[in-house]
Amino acid sequence: MIRMASTTRALGAFLLAWSLANSYSAEAAEVEPPETRAERSSELRAEPEPEEATEEAEENERLNGFTFGGAYTFHILRNRDSETTGEPLRTFEHLGGFVIGYDRDLIPGHLALTISKPFYFSKERFDTPFDFILRGLFRKGRWEGFIGLVLTWNIRIFEKEREEQEGERNIMSFGIGAVIGGAYFFNPRWSLDLELGYANIPTEDIVEHEISSALCGVYHF
């Protein structure tokens, strides 16, 4: 009897110890260490929503843009006399027209190169410049500001009466200047750009200073 009681007590002690050990293991498995919880929480915060990630990826892939819109330019002309009458000619001129262009992001969101082709008209003149613009970009939300340097190359064509006054049919010129402007993005594919520019023409040309503006829609792809 004594031996049986001793065996019973030993078996009871063993079952009690095994139960306590299992209970402690279960609680340890349920309680996650603070470091693990913090790492998992930071991972969840770092992962963007699927729609946001897709939109950001698509926006980053759109490094090209096609531009089309209206354009206007005001020219300050050099002092000169008419070849036919010898009288002084006017020293300013307005031209209107349109512009097409191509944009390429060199450093997405920071630096872009634009090749612009304006067409300007008046009753006496037709200008066909090429503008090469290196732009610094400043993006915040849907708005983007930019400032840039311009190299412009141009051919001016005069009508018959104006040709007689100026003494030549065509004039080729080069200039350097700057632009400033901003854009509003309706979505990652479409934006509306407003640009103001200035160029100085140091070559032998009737034009000395050019002030221009353009309002364009841009398709990004």
Residues 6+ apart with CB under 8 A from 61: none
CATH class, range 62-220: mainly beta
Domain ranges of the chain: 2-47, 62-220
Alpha-carbon distances of 5 from 10, 15, 17, 18, rounded to whole Å: 9, 15, 18, 20
In order along its 221 residues, the chain shows pLDDT tens digits of 444 445 556 555 555 555 555 555 545 445 555 555 555 555 545 555 555 444 555 555 789 999 999 999 999 999 999 999 999 999 999 999 999 999 999 999 999 999 999 999 999 999 999 999 999 999 999 999 999 999 999 999 999 999 999 999 999 999 999 999 999 999 999 999 999 999 999 999 999 999 999 999 999 99
Q: Long-range contacts made by residues 167-170, C-beta under 8 angstroms, separation at least 24?
A: 167/83
Distance CA 72, CA 88 (A): 25
User: Residues 107, 141: contact at Cβ < 8 Å?
Assistant: no
> Helices H, strands E: what count in the chain?
4, 9
Residue 191, classed as helix, strand or coil, is strand
Phi, psi of 203, deg, nearest 5? -80, 175
What's the distance, CA 117 to chain centroid?
19
